[in-house]
Amino acid sequence: MAIKKIIFLILLIFPSFCLATSWQIISNKSSIHFSATQNNSPITGEFKNFSGDIEFDPNQLSKSHIKIIVDIDSVATSFKDVQDALKTADWFDVASFPKATFSADDFKKTGDDTYAANGKLTLRNKTMPITLNFKLIKYTDNEAMISGKTELKRSDFDVGKGEWSSTKQIKNEVVVNFEIEAQKNDAK
């Protein structure tokens, strides 16, 4: 019984030692957009649904960590044909890989209110290290807002297979822009 109590106590106290402030994403104020290049002109879209565990405190970067899970089936573009094509096996293959995950626990301050999060992105069945550069736009007791971007190479994640692996018409570089607004989790 004593062991159980100790474990319980550890579990109770542990989070306050190892976690920075916990945040809840406000979905309707947050977005993840991407911009690629086809025939030399921009093609943009977004992922409408995503969730995440965010423990972030600019004063406790070493204790901060995030995990964002993106619902790939929520990919949206203005032109529906593009949206449908992106869901097929040659592109995101949402049937086989419905989620993409970004997790990071290595944060660095890069400026007055700018930070870099070094982490790993898993998209399709590929995992690659990437860095998100973001700016802390708002940080109050209850609310926080960040905005940032990263640049990916779609070939790193096998996005665009077969004839689409050619980067002539659709360039390899994809810029991902995100804006996340969050409120403090009361639960923790």
Tokens of 134: 């973001």
Q: Is 44 in the site for other proteins (CB under 8 A)?
A: yes
The residues that bridge with 32 in the sheet, in sequence order, are 47, 178
Please select the residue that binds other proteins; options are 16, 28, 80, 140, rule is CB under 8 A: 80
- Strand-pairing partners, residue 149, are 133, 177
Residues 85-104 that bind other proteins (CB under 8 A): 85
Q: What CA–CA distance (Å, rounded) separates 107 from 158?
A: 27
Binding of other proteins by 38 (CB under 8 A): yes
Q: What is the chain's alpha carbon radius of gyration, rounded to the nearest angstrom?
A: 19
**Residue 79 near other proteins by CB under 8 A:** yes
Kindly tell me which of 125 and 166 has the beta carbon lying closer to other proteins: 166
Q: Based on CB atoms, which residue is closest to other proteins, 6 or 95?
A: 95
- Rule CB under 8 A: say whether 77 interacts with other proteins: yes
Instruction: Give min distance, CB of 27 to other proteins, in A.
Output: 22
The token pair that represents 138 in the structure block:
């708002």
Which residues in the 145-184 window bind other proteins by CB under 8 A? 163-164, 166, 168-170
Please name which of 153, 116, 108 lies closest in space to residue 132, comparing C-alpha atoms: 116
**Short-list 99, 98, 116, CA closest to 107:** 116
Give me the residues that bind other proteins (CB under 8 A), please.
Answer: 38-44, 77-82, 85, 163-164, 166, 168-170
